[in-house]
Amino acid sequence: MLPLRDQLPSRRTPYVTYAIIALNVLVYLWQKARPAADQMALVVEHGVVPARFLADPLPQLPTVLSSMFMHSPSTLWHLGGNMLFLWIFGDNVEDALGPRRFVGFYLVGGLVAALAQVFVGPSSVVPMVGASGAIAAVLAAYGSLYPWAPVTVLNPIMPLWLFGLITFQLPAWFVILEFFVMNLFNGVLSIGASGGGVAFFAHLGGFLAGLVLVRLLFKPERRDALRWKGLRGPPTRHALRRRPRRVDPRVIDDPWLGPRR
């Protein structure tokens, strides 16, 4: 299923998300502006090549960063699909984490994604490029923070378009879980396969990194809770103090802690 938009407006302009999208597009245009013979050479030079990375990790570390902003020059779908997902889900995750924490979240998610693919295929000489590992971390964070947010998806059953059923809405957790399950299924099938293709384990690694990182970086509103005052009888209303609870104020239920009370 292809998501088209979500229904959760952000409370502030997501400048970091816009900047990441713009940088990816500019790098793609720079790639396409080069002669055809040089376009794949750039991918090989600036992408993560697992065998090359493990042979000499320190000099290859910059490729982890550069690969996150490069895409296959042979098709626009690689860039377009990634940027669509980032456009839909990135603004709300940036809104929840804040711009500075979101930058760190995005980059660390991409780093873990690259290392996951290197770990699964250490002898591969196929360069890996694309923002999808970091975007998988964004999807995991969105699904964790806003599991019931409605997401508009394109109806995959095209004959139903004749009856006006071109799009419909699903909860975010379903759309994002489907992304994870499909990558897990295809990733298992790809084990031992040679040649290029989709870096499924980069997606899975980024996704798992996102689940962990969002719990570490998300700073929610503080909520009232009783404070222990010692063995002096039951607390009064004046004993209330504020302590953090990991839930966004726009979310009715916290998927980790249960319903708000």
Tell me the mean pLDDT in the region 133-147: 94
pLDDT beyond 50 at 70: yes
Instruction: Using alpha carbons, list the distances in angstroms from residue 244 to 83, 95, 144, 206.
Output: 33, 18, 17, 27
Mean pLDDT value of segment 132-137: 95
Tell me the whole-structure pTM to 2 decimals: 0.82
86 near 32, Cβ under 8 Å? no
What pLDDT sits at residue 177?
A: 94
Task: Say whether pLDDT at 108 is over 90.
Answer: yes
- Could you tell me what percent of the chain has a pLDDT over 90? 52
pLDDT at 222 over 70: no
Neighbours of 164 (CB within 10 A): 8
pLDDT (average), residues 140-165: 87
Nearest to 40 by CA among 75, 85, 87: 75
Considering only the top CATH level, what class is 2-217? mainly alpha
Tell me which of 157 and 225 has the higher pLDDT: 157
Residues of the chain with CATH 1.20.1540.10: 2-217
The whole-number pLDDT of residue 192 equals 64
- Phi-psi map region of 88: left, alpha, beta (phi>0 left; psi -120 to 50 alpha): alpha
Q: What is the Cα 101 distance to its own chain's centre? A: 14
**How high is the pLDDT of residue 114?**
93
Q: What is the pLDDT of residue 168?
A: 85
- What integer is the mean pLDDT of 223-243? 49
Q: Exposure string (b/e) for 64-103, b if CB count within 10 Å is 16 or more? A: beebbbbbbbeeeebbebbbbbbbbbbbbbbbbbeeebbe
State residue 113 phi and psi, 5-degree precision. Answer: -60, -45
